[in-house]
């Protein structure tokens, strides 16, 4: 049996119906996925541009998370310093009370409370860690490998510079000693309690030395807190900038590949109407061929 021969009108209507069906399928895919470019076949240039933009947005998303983590580490350190400041103020109040107290037994009791608060400073600095990094507890003086410090990158470039990253140093040995104020507060091998409990000017001299050391410690704490606060503010600016840049990149990628759902819905309705009209046109074309049956 040979091929079936169709009339020109029938074949034309069939081709039009096939094209309309293909367009309906494409439109339905866009409505289902929300994308007008689903692969490089649809539009290679737009597809790869959008993929590069989304890839960079993903890289910046990780950088933004690291910046947020850095902000949290600094805030933990600042909160620790604020607590240390309050403890040092209490220590200073105890020392001033000891100066005004004439009884050696009372001064000895105050010295015992003073020493207890001093140990709390140690504990606060030890507990000021966040996610394994403690900017308040570095006694090495020099940041050797493994020492606590915070490095926050601002972009995906690999070279290390002050433009691409921020390195935040924790307390060095001098700052640490100043805050704990061990050399000034230890007042000899006899200990604070024994020295403060002495009679005469020896006790007053030791207590005044402790007050001066506490004043110096307060200055150091406030300076370090201010430095950490400035770093935190700068990181917050970078975090907001990175977040806005991510939104811009994703928006640019969406403009390249996202479908206009309102337009595609209107296209689908139009194509369905065209399909129905094409079916009717095909039926009319076939009716002319059926007229030959009237001869029999």
How does pLDDT run across 95-109, given as a tens digit for each residue? 888 888 777 778 888
Q: What is the spatial distance between Cα 296 and Cα 287, in angstroms, rounded to a whole number?
A: 16
- How many C-beta atoms surround the C-beta of residue 162 within 10 A? 7
120 pLDDT more than 90:
no
Distance of CA 67 to the CA centre of its chain: 5
Q: What percent of the chain has pLDDT over 70?
A: 76
Average pLDDT over residues 120-149: 67
Nearest-angstrom CA–CA distance, 285 and 290: 9
Burial of 160 (0-12, 13-18, 19+ CB in 10 A): exposed
Across 129-146, average pLDDT: 61
Cα–Cα distance, 133 to 72 (Å, whole number): 10
pLDDT at 227 over 80: yes
Residue 187 is predicted with a pLDDT of: 39
Which class is domain 44-257? Answer: mainly alpha
pLDDT at 221: 85
By residue count, the chain amounts to 296
Mean pLDDT of 29-43: 82
Tokens standing for residue 249: 């990149």
Query: At 294, is the pLDDT very low, low, confident or very high (cuts 50, 70, 90)?
Result: low
- Specify the DSSP class assigned to residue 133: B
104-126 vs 173-180: helix axis angle to the nearest 10? Answer: 150
Judged on CB neighbours under 10 Å (0-12, 13-18, 19+), 238 is: buried
What band does 233 get if pLDDT is binned at 50, 70 and 90?
very high
Percent of the chain residues topping a pLDDT of 90: 18
What pTM was computed for the model? 0.72
Confidence of residue 53 (pLDDT cuts 50, 70, 90): very high
Judged on CB neighbours under 10 Å (0-12, 13-18, 19+), 152 is buried
Backbone angles phi, psi at 106, to 5 degrees: -65, -40
* Domain chopping of the chain, boundaries: 44-257, 261-290
Question: Could you tell me the pLDDT band of residue 31, with boundaries at 50, 70 and 90?
Answer: confident
């Amino acid at each position: 049996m040979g091929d079936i021969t169709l009339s020109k009108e029938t074949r034309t209507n069939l081709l039009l119906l096939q094209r309309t069906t293909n367009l309906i399928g494409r439109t339905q895919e866009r409505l289902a996925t929300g994308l007008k470019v689903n692969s490089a076949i649809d539009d290679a240039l737009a597809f790869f541009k959008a993929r590069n933009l989304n890839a960079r947005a993903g890289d910046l998303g990780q950088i933004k998370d690291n910046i947020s983590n850095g902000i949290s580490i600094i805030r933990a350190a600042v909160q620790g310093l604020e607590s240390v400041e309050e403890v040092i103020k209490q220590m200073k109040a105890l020392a001033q009370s000891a100066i005004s107290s004439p009884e050696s037994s009372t001064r000895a009791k105050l010295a015992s409370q003073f020493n207890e608060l001093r140990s709390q400073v140690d504990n606060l600095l030890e507990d000021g860690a966040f996610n394994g990094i403690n900017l308040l507890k570095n006694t090495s003086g020099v940041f050797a490998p493994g020492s606590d410090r915070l490095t926050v990158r601002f972009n995906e470039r690999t070279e290390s510079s002050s433009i691409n990253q921020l390195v935040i140093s924790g307390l060095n040995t001098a700052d640490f000693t100043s805050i704990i104020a061990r050399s000034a507060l230890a007042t000899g091998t006899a200990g604070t309690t024994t020295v403060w409990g002495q009679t005469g000017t020896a006790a007053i001299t030791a207590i005044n030395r402790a007050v001066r050391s506490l004043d110096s410690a307060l200055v150091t704490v406030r300076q370090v807190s201010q430095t950490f606060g400035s770093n935190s503010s700068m990181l917050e600016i970078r975090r907001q900038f990175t977040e806005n840049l991510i939104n811009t990149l994703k928006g640019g990628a969406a403009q390249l590949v996202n479908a206009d759902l309102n337009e595609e819905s209107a296209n689908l309705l139009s194509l369905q109407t065209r399909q129905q009209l094409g079916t009717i046109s095909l039926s009319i074309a076939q009716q002319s061929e059926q007229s030959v049956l009237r001869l029999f």
